[in-house]
Structure 1
Amino acid sequence: MSDDNSPISAREARRLFADFKTAPALVLAVSGGPDSVALMWLAARWQRSLARGPRLLVVTVDHGLRPEAAREAREVKRQAAALGLTHRTLRWRGAKPKTGLPAAAREARYRLLAQAACAAGASHVLTAHTRDDQAETLLMRLLRGSGIAGLSAMARLAERDGIVLARPLLDVPKSQLVATLKRAKLGFADDPTNRDTAFTRPRLRALLPQLATEGGDIRNLARLAARLARANAAVEVLADGAERFLRLRDRGDAPHDLGGRSFEAAGFAALPEEVRLRLLLRAINALGHEGPAELGKVESLLAALDQAIAGARTATKGRPALKQTLAGALISLAGGRIHVAPAPARRRKERIRKADAGGS
């Protein structure tokens, strides 16, 4: 295994891209920075080494946020052509939000990349996220109080809009990619927003040297993310088993929730807390219509649900022991069962309320 400052060899590149050699086509997300230019160069070299490799399409997303972006996209196009690759520039059009800009830009980028992949018949979109990115993502989510799933940071493979998002360089340090480009004598763009302390990621990046002196270097942080991903996968298996367990307890005579999900309350209460959280999250996110539920709010709901289950014997007969909405889902406890169903849309409820008020 090479050190963190040595170029990536042809043999290592074959290992990095081995899982994609039977794909019909691949989209390479290339912004022009060092990581993505290295991805493009390594993928092109790997493809040439195959007797019959996948078609490669290089895609650059211009977010329209910096005047230099158009010039950088043209440079990527020139580099792609020199490698014999097809290139497309996609633009994020329309109004840009005044807050949450990095997250909105990221969503737009992935949406455009997925659209390009579908149009090209590609099975995967490859991005150039590195070990450094993984460490920074872990820190960001740690400081935001994420749960195990969030602290797993970025997955090597993830499905998005019907396309597999792949990160083949996730175990590779950025320094190795820069060394690879230097040996290949390839230039790359320098995005000043990567150092703009108005954003969270650059501020945390500036702290990494200090963390490294205490043992919190990039390698150890990425290793922690991998271990948490392993634990998260185990909890997901337990949650799958718990769902099957609750269905078996129903024995086929449980009331059918049309358009919803239902759990036998006593069996649900016997499960570990983390598993119960997963089951609620799954149900709310599947049936709600207001986006993913916040973990903290689901934790509060679970606490209220546990209390309601414990006091259900003293509840008024025929009335729900608990009934509340979260993320567009309606959660209730009644008749010894937990029910999760889509909540009435707020706009519709508001129109009904206004109509009732006008008619009174």
Structure 2
Amino acid sequence: MSSSGEALTPSDLEAILGPFLFRRESHDRPAVLAVSGGPDSTVLLRGAAGLQARREAVPLIAATVDHGLRPEAAAEAQQVEAWAAAVGIPHRILRWSGEKPRTGLQEAARHARYGLLAALARQIGAARILTAHTLDDQAETMLMRLARGSGPSGLRGMAIESPLQEFALTRPFLGTRKDRLLATCQLQGWPFIEDPSNENEQFTRVRLRRQLLPQLAHEGITPERLATLAQRLRRAEEALAVRARDVLCATLLRRGEGELSLDGVALQAEPEEIRLRVLALCIEEIAGEAFSPRLERLERAEARLSEALRMGGRSRVSLGGMLLTIINGTLCVTPEPTRYRGRYVSISEDDA
């Protein structure tokens, strides 16, 4: 594996990592470094160790997740442990045990990985978890979400910092190209692990990286351009989210136990995007964040309700166990009673 990128200097690494790892009066809690052993996370480990050596970094602990998906994984985790010890950073190996799904393996592994990292952060009293996601990862993520039909919320991509349970999930290299991190390892002589799954085209992300992204870059749609688009969509998303919350408050008629009632006529005066977001907020408030209907199904449900409001009629729509009802211009959102399942128009997975 070779790179044509420009290596990061020690000053570059300090500028990138320092804002998240420097000790401050208001911030001295430990940080967890997610280190797989690849070139990206190797630079994260070594760069953080450089700050710690000068006594400028908060207490650090590195963690490697052994997903148990490859025979070599256990030995690789032990190798990362040795590299961490060599630079004076404590290390933990976190193992994903139990049965593995036959489909959606990468997504399941991702959820398991973050769960294990959060558990470790909680155990040591950490404030944040740092990963080595790059600008290239951001571009791949956007294309994957685009292929799944995501709207502005999904296409805003990853944030440099986002919540993970009670912790900050931090991606300091999100504005850095992957080839610069590889070049840094090569210039410094830092060994790293090459994961063969990163070349396995049975995974969507790998196919996008190897087949589609080079073609897009040839037409000017580079990872940098995609990352800029993500930033602009994030800006628009923040404005739309604020407006949707304001409209929810303005149209709310009643908030009961497991029930919300809104002025449907007033809501209908809002643009479609705001109506969709208010509906999603209502469902999230009652069902919890774990339930997030796909955008296509939400759009179909909202279209049926809006038609009833325009015609002055009634409508009841079932969406993932929630009952959305229009009666006399009022929108009610409640859990669907089990005994009524199937009696109303259902917007389900089969419709997608």
TM-score norm. by structure 2 comes to: 0.89
Q: Is the deviation greater in 38-47 or in 194-203? A: 38-47
1:186 paired with 2:193, answer no
- For 1:148, the equivalent position in structure 2 comes to 152
- Separation in 1, partners of 2:96, 2:164: 18
SS at match of 2:316: strand
Aligned residues: 332
Alignment of 1:221-260 (within 5 A): 221-247=226-252, 254-260=253-259
Percent of counterpart pairs with the same letter?
Answer: 42
Q: Give the distance between the partners of 1:11 and 1:345, measured in 2 at CA.
A: 61
Q: Classify the secondary structure of the residue corresponding to 1:340.
A: strand
Check 1:20–1:267 CA distance in 2 against 1; reply closer, same or farther (3 A cut).
Answer: farther
Distance in 1 (CA, whole Å) between partners of 2:242 and 2:264 is: 21
Match of 1:214 in 2: 219
The equivalent of 1:343 in structure 2 is: 336
| Equivalent in the alignment of 2:307 | 307
- Contact between 2:5 and 2:183, CA under 8 Å: does it hold in 1? yes
Which amino acid letter does the alignment assign opposite residue 236 of structure 2? Answer: A
Tell me which of 163, 166, 189 is aligned to 1:162. 166
In the alignment, does 2:31 pair up with 1:32? Answer: no
Partner of 1:15 in structure 2?
A: 15
Does 2:108 align with 1:104?
yes
Instruction: Give the aligned partner of residue 47 of structure 1.
Output: 52
Residues 123-177 of structure 1: per-residue CA shift (max 9 Å, x gap):
1111110000001111111122210011111111221222221111100111111
Residue 268 of structure 1 is matched in structure 2 by 267
The aligned amino acid for 1:31 is: S
Structure of greater Rg: 1
Match of 1:329 in 2: 322
**Cα distance in 1 for residues equivalent to 2:13 and 2:260:** 46
Residues 271-310 of structure 1 correspond to what in structure 2 (within 5 A)?
Answer: 271-288=270-287, 291-310=291-310
For 2:41 and 2:136, locate their aligned partners in 1 and report how far apart those are by CA, in whole Å: 14
Deviation per CA, 1:70-111, whole angstroms, max 9, x where unpaired? 111011101100111010001111000111111101110011
Q: Partner of 1:85: helix, strand, or coil?
A: coil
SS of aligned partner of 2:256: coil
Query: Distance in 1 between the 2:54 and 2:247 partners?
Result: 47
Residue 345 of structure 1 and its aligned partner are, at CA, apart by: 5.6
| Cα separation, 1, equivalents of 2:75 and 2:21 | 31
Q: 1:344 to 1:85 in 2, by over 3 A?
A: farther
Equivalent residue of 2:62, what SS? strand
Instruction: Find runs of 4+ consecutive structure 1 residues off by over 4 angstroms.
Output: none
Residue 237 of structure 1, CA deviation: 1.9
3-state DSSP of counterpart to 2:185: helix
Cα pair 1:284 1:327 within 8 Å, conserved = no
Letter paired with 1:86: P
Q: Which residue of 1 aligns with 2:345?
A: none
Match of 1:357 in 2: none
Rounded to whole Å, the distance in 1 between the matches of 2:277 and 2:152 is 11
CA distance in 2, matches of 1:273, 1:107: 32
Amino acid at match of 2:82: R
Structure 1 counterpart of 2:125: 121
Change (3 A) 1:40 1:209: same
- Which structure 2 segments of 5+ residues have no match? 343-352
Please list every run of 5 or more consecutive structure 1 residues that lacks an aligned counterpart in the other structure: 248-253, 316-320, 351-360
Matches of 1:29 and 1:19 in 2, distance apart? 14
Residues of 2 paired with 1:339 and 1:176: CA distance?
53
CA distance, structure 2, for counterparts of residue 103 and residue 345 of structure 1: 30
Q: How many Å separate the matches in 2 of 1:104 and 1:191? A: 18
Shift of 1:50: 4.3
- Aligned-pair distance for 1:328? 2.7
2:61 to 42, 48, 57: 57
- Following the alignment from structure 1 to structure 2, what is the Cα–Cα distance between the partners of residues 255 and 211? 50
Take 2:157 and 2:51, find their aligned partners in 1: how far apart are those partners? 27
Q: Matched residues in 2 for 1:286 and 1:71: separation? A: 45
Rounded Cα–Cα distance in structure 1 between residues aligned with 2:305 and 2:48: 51
Greater shift in the superposed pair: 259-268 or 69-78: 259-268
Q: Secondary structure at the match of 1:122?
A: coil
Question: Which amino acid letter does the alignment assign opposite residue 260 of structure 2?
Answer: R
Amino acid paired to 1:276: R
AA matched with 2:304: A
Counterpart Cα distance in 2 of 1:265 and 1:114: 41
